Amino acid sequence: MRFNLADRPVRVGILSFAHMHSYSYAASLVTRNDAVLAGIWDADAGRSLSAGERFEAPVFDSVDELLSQNLDAVIVTSENAGHRNLVELAASAGIKAILCEKPIAITKEDGEAMVEICKAHGTFLSTAFPCRYSPSFEKLVDSYRGGALGEILAIRATNHGVCPFGWFVDVEQSGGGAVIDHTVHVADLNWVLLQKKAATVYAETGNNMYHQMWEDTGFLTIEYADGPFCTLDSSWSRPKKSFSTWGDVTLEVVATGGVAQVDMFGQALNHYDEKMEHHRLIGWGSDLDRGLISDFLNAAKGEPAPKLPTGEDGVRALEIALAAYESAVSSKPIQLIAG
């Protein structure tokens, strides 16, 4: 659908800077000629003022005030539990395109309600899955669909990271720990690659890294319709200072025609700094967030954005993470497709 923006820049508002990805999205927006960061709101006044100063954008005291600024699109990057309310407010205000940070919600009911209200108001709802824009993953998809790999038999995946702490470990705000934070990326990539729904999910979780009530480690086995399966390590298992990078997203695909390995953050320089007293990786390659924002702006203009993840994609990925929690409690596989 076309929103008749003509040649003027897309006016975008950001609702909350609670999630660290908001800063990357904002940085992408302010460097473009076809978009303007028209306003910022955050429940944390200090955080909103800091972001407004950093990105030279106006700050608003209320969500309603920001939504009344003739916006075309909004980006929702609040705590996970706040996604539904902010998306519903934006859709009801007539915003034509919404990008919601992953996971789309903390319950399937909330996610489905977000999809429905956006449909009712003619709003395009997208879920923030930037890993779709990895050139190495795109090459994997092209190779598979072109027949070079044959039939996929299994996938071994990882999404490791450093525990972000803060609201991420407040289960009422986040919906869980490492599993809900890191399962959804790979769940979405598997959907894009296989185009098959998850049939069963089995998971084990633990808290042996930080010994708190929330899980810091998770290991899933996901079986897909018609045969393929995936094992996924979705853990906050990286030491905060001593490890070389914040984490990874990797896929090793075993197929009848060969094995393909993808490291989505492999484009990086090693940085050693005596003052910092630890080693880190500095990415130099493709900016996945920039690819996501570019497609999102295309959608806001009514232009084609075929790779852009939808709200339904967000709910599908969330369902796998929620099934993992259910499995970890029951110690049994959870069936998602009736067999």
Residue 2 confidence class, pLDDT cut points 50, 70, 90: very low
Residues 168 and 32 placed together within one structural domain of the fold: no
Cβ atoms of 302 and 295 within 8 Å: the answer is no
CA dihedral 80, 21, 326, 335 (to 10 degrees): 110
Looking at the domain assignment, is residue 306 inside a domain? no
pLDDT at 281: 67
Mean pLDDT of 244-256: 87
Looking at the domain assignment, is residue 307 inside a domain? no
Cβ atoms of 10 and 301 within 8 Å: the answer is yes
pLDDT tens-digit series, residues 303-336: 999 999 999 999 999 999 999 999 999 999 999 9
Query: Which tokens sit at 144?
Result: 């598979």
Residues 229 and 272 placed together within one structural domain of the fold: yes
Looking at the domain assignment, is residue 166 inside a domain? yes
Mean pLDDT of 173-193: 98
pLDDT at 278: 67
Domain closes at, from 127, 146, 175 = 127
Residues 194 and 327 placed together within one structural domain of the fold: yes
Cβ atoms of 149 and 258 within 8 Å: the answer is yes
Looking at the domain assignment, is residue 309 inside a domain? no
Mean pLDDT of 244-268: 88
Residues 36 and 178 placed together within one structural domain of the fold: no
Cβ atoms of 220 and 324 within 8 Å: the answer is yes
Instruction: Round to whole Å and give the CA distance between 265 and 288.
Output: 10
Q: What is the CATH number of the domain that holds 113?
A: 3.40.50.720
Looking at the domain assignment, is residue 148 inside a domain? yes
Instruction: Round to whole Å and give the CA distance between 65 and 38.
Output: 12
pLDDT at 266: 80
Residues 226 and 329 placed together within one structural domain of the fold: yes
Residues 100 and 64 placed together within one structural domain of the fold: yes
Domain closes at, from 65, 97, 127 = 127
Q: Which helix (H) or strand (E) holds 79?
A: none
Residue 221 pLDDT greater than 80, yes or no? yes
Instruction: Round to whole Å and give the CA distance between 174 and 61.
Output: 24
Instruction: Round to whole Å and give the CA distance between 54 and 45.
Output: 14
* Average pLDDT across the chain, whole number: 93
Instruction: Round to whole Å and give the CA distance between 259 and 56.
Output: 47
pLDDT at 69: 97
Residues 6+ apart with CB under 8 A from 99: 25, 73, 74, 75, 76, 126, 127, 128, 292, 293, 296
pLDDT at 210: 95
Residues 6+ apart with CB under 8 A from 280: 244, 245, 271, 273
Residue 338 pLDDT greater than 90, yes or no? no
Residues 116 and 135 placed together within one structural domain of the fold: no
Residues 148 and 275 placed together within one structural domain of the fold: yes
Residues 6+ apart with CB under 8 A from 12: 29, 35, 36, 37, 38, 71, 72, 73, 74, 75, 297, 300
Number of domains in the chain: 2
Residues 270 and 199 placed together within one structural domain of the fold: yes
Looking at the domain assignment, is residue 314 inside a domain? no
Residues 264 and 175 placed together within one structural domain of the fold: yes
Mean pLDDT of 88-117: 98
Looking at the domain assignment, is residue 69 inside a domain? yes
Percent of the chain surpassing pLDDT 90:
86
Residues 36 and 23 placed together within one structural domain of the fold: yes
Residue 73 pLDDT greater than 70, yes or no? yes
Q: Please give the residue range of the domain that contains residue 33.
A: 10-127
Most confident of 70-84, 232-246, 260-274: 70-84
Residue 243 pLDDT greater than 70, yes or no? no
pLDDT at 272: 72
pLDDT tens-digit series, residues 265-305: 887 677 777 766 666 767 666 789 999 999 999 999 999 99
Looking at the domain assignment, is residue 1 inside a domain? no
pLDDT at 1: 46
pLDDT at 12: 98
pLDDT at 329: 98
Q: What is the CATH number of the domain that holds 144?
A: 3.30.360.10
Residues 281 and 240 placed together within one structural domain of the fold: yes
Domain closes at, from 75, 104, 127 = 127
